[in-house]
Every structure is written in C-alpha cells, then in structure tokens.
Amino acid sequence: MKGSHIPIRRCIGCRVQRPASEMIRLKARDETVVVVNKKDRIPGRGCYVCPEDKCIVAALEKGRLSRALRRTIAMIPPREAILSGQEHKEVTG
C-alpha cells in the first residue's frame, strides 16, 4: 500500500529541502513578487523559502529571487510581509 505523496521543495535562501507545506511560496506577477497563501493555486513560476528570518534575508540578497523566478523583479515585499504571509500589493496613485 502506497503512502500519500508529500511534495518536497528547496529553499532559495538556505538551499535545504523541506515539505512544501512547511514553506512560504513566492510567485512573480509581472514585475512584482507576491506571497501565495497555501490555499491558492496560482499557476506559473514560483519559488519557496523557509519561514525563518535568516532564509528570507538570504533569499532577498544577491539576486537570488530574480534568478529563481527567471525575471527582473521591480517590487519585492518587505521581509516582515513575507514572514507574516501577506500578499504584497502594488501601490498606485
């Protein structure tokens, strides 16, 4: 009898593999990075980061996020927004 499949993803900050359910998914929408809730199934290129401050700091430096998402990123959410899981919305006006 087979067990259920648990998707494993690699953190772009620390490069450690963990179950996807324990990580924060980041997604590129045009030139903006958004934090994806666990219930949302937004298709397209995304990456994962551990929910730890040191991993998020490492992911935001040295262009790792742009490289992982394979595009130039103009707007990146603040570290606190990523940790809390809030979606970053572009401010207009």
Domain ranges in the chain are 8-84
CATH 3.40.50.10490 is the classification of domain 8-84? no
Question: What is the pLDDT averaged over residues 37-59?
Answer: 85
pLDDT recorded at residue 75: 81
CB environment 33-42: b (16+ within 10 A), e (fewer): bbbbeeeeee
Residue 89 pLDDT grade (very low, low, confident, very high; cuts 50, 70, 90): very low
Average pLDDT estimate for 54-65 = 88
Percent pLDDT > 70 in the chain is 88
- CB-based contacts of 76: which residues, under 8 Å, 6+ apart? 33, 60, 65, 88
Within 10 A of 55 (CB to CB), how many other CB atoms are there? 22
Q: What's the pTM value of the predicted model, to 2 decimals?
A: 0.79
Residue 92 in this model has a pLDDT that exceeds 50:
no
- CB distance 46 to 36 below 8 Å: yes
Interatomic CA distance for residues 20 and 90, integer angstroms: 26
